[in-house]
Structure 1
Amino acid sequence: MTETLLRLSGNVRGVLWMTAAMASGVCVDVCAKLVSHDVPTAQILAMRALTTVPVFLIIVMFLGTRLVRTKRPMAHVARGLLWYGSLFFVFFALRQMSIAEVNAYLFIEALLTVLLAVVILGEKLTARKLIATLLGLVGVWVMCAPRMQGFGVPLGVGAALIGAFCFSAQTLFAKVLTRTETNFSMLFWPQIIAVVIWVPIAIITWHPASLADWLYSSGAGFFAMMTNYMVLRAVRVADASVVSPAAYTALPFSVAMDLIFFDMLPMPVIFIGAGIVVLAVMLLDYKGGAAPVEVDEAASIGEDDPSPKPVSVKT
């Protein structure tokens, strides 16, 4: 089976890795949504961090601290705050809406990243970027319109959009960090920061959690690690512009999980709005047939060389 996969082109392997990552990412949402509504959202993040950090520490014990040494500690702190801040808003949104609806709103993240890159990094705002962004905003409005009461935006929708904004901001930090940091350190430090920040916050409103709640929180952490690992694999063997369209498989996976676990279906207009946003992002990603450079898939997770352009995921 492994030999068969290795015979495939880097592009095909990258798309397969990214598709698997999206399936795993939706499992994170399922686990988060299954946690009892009596457990505060901040506590879910704290429980997830507490069950995830020991795994990372064990890996460090075996592989050495070289993997987590950093030249930019404050950038890791900022990215960790944004990463888990975005998860807070996404998990909150999941309590208000279906998984498919939340993921549809999160598709706007790529467009927000472009706008932030223009404002913060000074990247050029081309006509194509501007058209894609405006088209994406139209898609978001299509999705929001049925839920809006006058000019009011429901809490769940607002939380999902804030979560997308935070994800896009941490993506910019990821792009900067990949120049000097290992992939493993970029996964490790946000978990440590989450324990330092979210555990004290969660203690203030701590609610007794059942064994099932702890298992679901642990499951969210496990699937998040698997998702990040598979995304890193995807961008190692293919260019981000090749694998990024596979990220949209998150929507059909989300619909399937909503039906299986929660007997829910999103409003049809969600698919229309999501389709407009996807079209906008694909317009943004279009490279005119440029060929990607393949990278050795067997590279270590702690390799010091910076990986190709990262693809952000909400885990």
Structure 2
Amino acid sequence: MLGTLLSFSVMAIAARQLSADFSTLQILAIRSAIGLLVVSMMLTRSGWQQVRTRQPGTHLLRNLAHYLGQFGWFYAIGFIPLAAVFAIEFTVPLWTLLFAAALLGERISLPRIIAVLLGIGGVLVILRPGAEVLHTAAVVMLGGAFAYGLSHTLTKRLAPANTPLCILFYMMAIQLPLGLVPAVFDWVTPGVTHWPWFLLVGLTGLSAHYCMVRALMLADASVVIPMDLLRLPLIALVGFVAYGETVDFYLAVGAGLILLGNALNLLWDRQKTMDMRIEAQQDDSSAKQ
């Protein structure tokens, strides 16, 4: 998880550096090209038969949503404080709950409804509609978080029948033309000093997800996911040190509400898992008797 935290922070810095000279579409296109190259090398070693799928439509819809989420993230990075971007991004698990209920038939309990309302309240505090002119980037990031929620829900649908490398391959292969075709009309040729930043964006995007998957293999989600919430104070520190960004009162309160909503959701999941284990142990004891 330390690898995940470091990867996301480095990717945010690299994206901020590139946003001054390149459009969001071009950054996404080059990121996808680098990711596709790396994933293709991995598939060459482990076997290309993994990319066979019976769910091409779901892959397409999932990656259209994921692309919109990435566009919102990379666009917002260039205009608003890093902590604000990450705070709004942390509403993704809450939007995922709503999409999972609508598309997968998952039940939303009262604690989860409260978690979603806390997240929405946190966003309203950060954006403060009506108090001042909303920054376009904040609204775009909120739309990106919503799109990420749909993407995560569709990933759940793909996961049982598709390997992680298969999902990553289609993600890069579909998103490359989505960014490349429109970026051609506003293309800026990267210089020698730009390529290290592009490589960081491409490689840290993969390493962040790889490290998180490894962490989930080594420890329970109830241990791993709360560590991911440390991204917010960490990126706030990075923004302060690297760019002189400060966390105002409204951002702190809004972020706190969003994190509280996520924590409530995690506690509910943990309690539900414990209840299921106790019930399974009781059934096992009854069977033995």
TM normalised by structure 2 equals: 0.88
Residues 46, 202 of structure 1: 8 Å contact kept: yes
SS in 2 for 1:178: helix
Give, in whole Å, the separation in 2 of the partners of 1:174 and 1:290. Answer: 22
- After superposition, what is the alpha-carbon deviation per residue over 1:106-144, rounded to whole angstroms, capped at 9, x for unaligned? 111111111112222232232222211112211111211
Give the residue type in structure 1 aligned to 2:90. Answer: F
User: Runs of 5+ in structure 2 lacking a partner?
Assistant: 277-289
2:164 aligns with: 183
Structure 1's 120 and 211: CA in aligned 2 closer, same or farther, altered over 3 A? same
Tell me whether 1:273 sits opposite 2:238 in the alignment. Answer: no
Give the residue type in structure 1 aligned to 2:109. Answer: T
Tell me whether 1:219 sits opposite 2:186 in the alignment. Answer: no
Tell me whether 1:194 sits opposite 2:169 in the alignment. Answer: no
Among 37, 41, 44, the alignment partner of 1:61 is: 44
Residues 29, 177 of structure 2: 8 Å contact kept: no
Kindly state the Cα deviation for residue 290 of structure 1 after the two structures are TM-superposed: 3.7
Tell me whether 1:73 sits opposite 2:56 in the alignment. Answer: yes
Kindly state the Cα deviation for residue 36 of structure 1 after the two structures are TM-superposed: 4.5
Tell me whether 1:284 sits opposite 2:265 in the alignment. Answer: yes
Give, in whole Å, the separation in 2 of the partners of 1:86 and 1:19. Answer: 24
Kindly state the Cα deviation for residue 22 of structure 1 after the two structures are TM-superposed: 2.2
Give, in whole Å, the separation in 2 of the partners of 1:211 and 1:86. Answer: 29
RMSD, aligned α-carbons: 2.1
1:7 aligns with: none
Kindly state the Cα deviation for residue 281 of structure 1 after the two structures are TM-superposed: 1.4
Give the residue type in structure 1 aligned to 2:266. Answer: D
Give, in whole Å, the separation in 1 of the partners of 2:45 and 2:70. Answer: 29
Identity score, percent = 27
1:156 aligns with: 137
1:301 aligns with: none
Among 227, 230, 235, the alignment partner of 2:216 is: 235
Among 2, 5, 14, the alignment partner of 1:31 is: 14
Give the residue type in structure 1 aligned to 2:37. Answer: P
1:246 aligns with: 227
158-167 or 249-258: which moved more? 249-258
- Bigger radius of gyration among the two: 2
Residues 35, 212 of structure 1: 8 Å contact kept: no
* Residue-pair matches, total: 274
User: Runs of 5+ in structure 1 lacking a partner?
Assistant: 1-17, 294-315
- After superposition, what is the alpha-carbon deviation per residue over 1:147-180, rounded to whole angstroms, capped at 9, x for unaligned? x455753211101111111111100011111111
Give the residue type in structure 2 aligned to 1:116. Answer: F
Give, in whole Å, the separation in 2 of the partners of 1:83 and 1:136. Answer: 20
Tell me whether 1:122 sits opposite 2:101 in the alignment. Answer: no
TM normalised by structure 1 equals: 0.81
Residues 239, 292 of structure 1: 8 Å contact kept: no
SS in 2 for 1:74: helix
Among 129, 132, 139, the alignment partner of 2:122 is: 139
Give the residue type in structure 2 aligned to 1:211. Answer: V
SS in 2 for 1:71: coil
Give, in whole Å, the separation in 2 of the partners of 1:117 and 1:132. Answer: 15
Structure 1's 141 and 72: CA in aligned 2 closer, same or farther, altered over 3 A? same
Residues 14, 197 of structure 2: 8 Å contact kept: yes
Residues 19, 78 of structure 2: 8 Å contact kept: no
SS in 1 for 2:79: coil
Give, in whole Å, the separation in 2 of the partners of 1:150 and 1:265. Answer: 19
284-293 or 124-133: which moved more? 284-293
